[in-house]
Structure 1
């Protein structure tokens, strides 16, 4: 087979200029070396390849190379080609290619117990690599093109099976939209809700009802789209839907309420579903920590009770790692097209990772990882509860039936003091007040004080030290 310039060697951008081709090419190469654009040790294209790229005679390139070898800018050895000389160019302007650049990590607390992140050291690297190899080997060619904005069909099919089996979700693959985590999914749905409100549709909310205590990014995404939030009453049974007024949507974490940790009672579940069907309202369900139940079998998702009225949000962030940026929406039929329009074709989830997660789910590796981590987190929870009972008897521990965090309820008037002590000891924690809706106090609701402790985050070797530091900060 005859080789052409198109399949030989490496690429090199040059723009020869001047009265003669040889001089112009020589000057362009010399300037690229002196400026540091061609680093020491860089291998240059063969004279035939560069001549073909530039549309000039091969001898012209060979002569320019010879001139620069004579000047000491290039070296030429049999078998290793033509390279930029190691001493070429000003030292200050030449990138140090021989030494990998190490990006410094941002400074953080010595022990990080903020909630929301799993133990990143436990990411199943070997199993993920095996799944990636199998997935990419079997992937059709069109998997690497511009795909369906809903996500790869392999992943949507695997998610439909998994969510139905494990979370009780009625998940038709055609109504699943892959997104870059819950925050991205909520942004998409919020844009739809805001657009409906702008068009004056009956479904469009002026406000969305939310939990008194909850994730701040929930409220922030809504606010960014001009949608206000109203806190609902909260008690031992969870969020009370009786507080719903003229809102057309409600945002809940019913399986494991964040951060208080309870589960929405069956009566409250039935009540919020009744509200949605009676008023045409929409329930936004963030299935937070749904897979990590420690005291009994996991509670099923609310979506299974009313698939036509619930937009369900899920993610691989807790079971695997947030850095994967893989989440999913299971949408009511009437919401799919509008969400896809909001998402557009600027996909944020690469096909290789989607295919790998599909293989990870289908092979059972995802189930095994969840079971493994569930046991690890339950041991940590038990150690924390036992230690606090001995060392800080005035602190009441709540929200421990599931998930990766617990609420430490403190004596009145001590939250600020404990947070200051934690900062002094290099302990990353968040106060319960951080998660409280700003209108909750104005509504006359009780205001407990406490800490929200993420016991999933530290690696195993640092857990005991983090727990000891926490005890030193408590009253």
Structure 2
């Protein structure tokens, strides 16, 4: 068989050409061809596509390959399934950015801060990939089916439908031991940790332990403002060093055990058990920030700590990394004895999160759209991560990447001869935005490292950014 094959008959009408030696899955090639035809206007709104069996026969592939391509395009909003098994071009198209996650797509997300050629800023998700069509279907369903009383004031915990949907999802995917009565909906992690700190202070807490390094906003700032002593617990290659926690005399600890931010370590099973034992002996609280565990590439799933000790652990989740931070959707799974206090703090803060958004997310979860979106995005982020690692190996082989198996960022440790601050400053002169680890250290000491956020950068921009960094490193070494 030749290098490529052009289909005939009904399949030819779609101008689909499959290259079986391209290294791109066949269903992705079919998706890209149909998507391109719709964007170019060749396939008009309402046009019927060949039945999956017919198209599969014309292309010489299995029906399952075509079904998978059709399902993905339906999820993205390009196609619509009709009764009787007919598939048509949708009446309204998503913006051109939607669907750019296809392996064959050449669209690249823009991510340049003012004055920078490339910005490796962390903590951002590719909002151009937000599943608008699927979200709109859930909004329509909510507006047409929700009972009137759901639009009145609710208690501080949020709507029951979302409690149930989240528990089903978290217990299945993250291994939690959650029940609907213990879920509190909040406006992202920032509000969630603020509510927990308020409750801790009311219960007499004096000191809170944080990973070192860790984020220098949210918990760190809020705890200090609330009058709590903040103590840093050093982080090693496998997460927080538990022996230091025993010496901290803390009433609570905030952890990112499934993918430590920013170093990427995973807290071992033995260390998790030791942390839980510490919490039980002290009557302390473990706050588990599970911020990006859904994105994993080279490792098996790591379950949440909350499933091991639901009476000692508060589970914090958010849609900010998986869907979009602008949704301001977060959730806490709280030990039973704290639910009422956390819900009361939520009512005092804002009288509750928007009901329509909660119900929409509940419907989105229940329909399986959240799972579908994550399946679509994992390979997109993986390709960007791989592009980053390839570029580092080619241009900066003496930098040591860490935390690469999951998430949306990578830390690269600097060799001893490179000063972190000098590299960051030189990079800015070359038009590159990148952060060092120094500002995120509580004790202020530790090896130098750089944080590469790659989630919103296209592969060519990633390669360009690493080349700019290599020039900056040469400048620093030359000086």
- TM-score using structure 2 length: 0.72
| Correspondent of 1:433 among 423, 435, 438 | 438
Residue in structure 2 matched with residue 327 of structure 1 by the alignment: 330
Residue in structure 1 matched with residue 235 of structure 2 by the alignment: 234
Residue in structure 2 matched with residue 394 of structure 1 by the alignment: 398
After superposition, the CA RMSD in angstroms is 1.8
Residue in structure 2 matched with residue 158 of structure 1 by the alignment: 165
How far is 1:460 from its partner? Answer: 6.3
Matched, 1:278 2:285: no
The 1:373/1:233 distance shift into structure 2, 3 A limit, reads: same
Residue in structure 2 matched with residue 383 of structure 1 by the alignment: 387
CA distance in 2, matches of 1:157, 1:358: 8
| Correspondent of 1:189 among 192, 196, 203 | 196
Residue in structure 1 matched with residue 313 of structure 2 by the alignment: 310
Residue in structure 1 matched with residue 36 of structure 2 by the alignment: none
Report matched runs for 1:101-120 at 5 Å: 107=114, 109-120=116-127
How far is 1:409 from its partner? Answer: 1.0
Instruction: Give unmatched runs, 5+ long, in structure 2.
Output: 1-111, 475-479
CA contact (8 A) 1:292 1:298 kept: no
CA distance in 2, matches of 1:326, 1:415: 35
Give SS of 1:182's match: helix
CA contact (8 A) 1:273 1:306 kept: yes
Listed one character per residue, the Cα deviations across residues 150-206 of structure 1 (whole Å, up to 9, x for unaligned) are 011111110010000000111111110000111100000001111222xxxxxx2x1
Q: Which moved more, 1:272-281 or 1:230-239?
A: 230-239
Residue in structure 2 matched with residue 449 of structure 1 by the alignment: 448
| Correspondent of 2:250 among 244, 247, 252 | 247
CA distance in 2, matches of 1:436, 1:108: 27
CA contact (8 A) 1:121 1:459 kept: no
How far is 1:468 from its partner? Answer: 4.0
Instruction: Give unmatched runs, 5+ long, in structure 1.
Output: 1-104, 198-203, 442-446
How far is 1:237 from its partner? Answer: 2.8
The 1:379/1:459 distance shift into structure 2, 3 A limit, reads: closer
How far is 1:112 from its partner? Answer: 2.3
CA distance in 2, matches of 1:319, 1:456: 11
How many residue pairs end up in the alignment?
358
| Correspondent of 1:415 among 411, 420, 423 | 420
The 1:195/1:410 distance shift into structure 2, 3 A limit, reads: same
Matched, 1:173 2:198: no
CA contact (8 A) 2:155 2:352 kept: no
Listed one character per residue, the Cα deviations across residues 260-296 of structure 1 (whole Å, up to 9, x for unaligned) are 0010011110100111112211101101211111112
Give SS of 1:191's match: helix
CA distance in 2, matches of 1:135, 1:335: 31
Residue in structure 1 matched with residue 270 of structure 2 by the alignment: 267
How far is 1:448 from its partner? Answer: 0.7
CA distance in 2, matches of 1:154, 1:464: 44
CA distance in 1, matches of 2:460, 2:351: 38
How far is 1:370 from its partner? Answer: 1.1
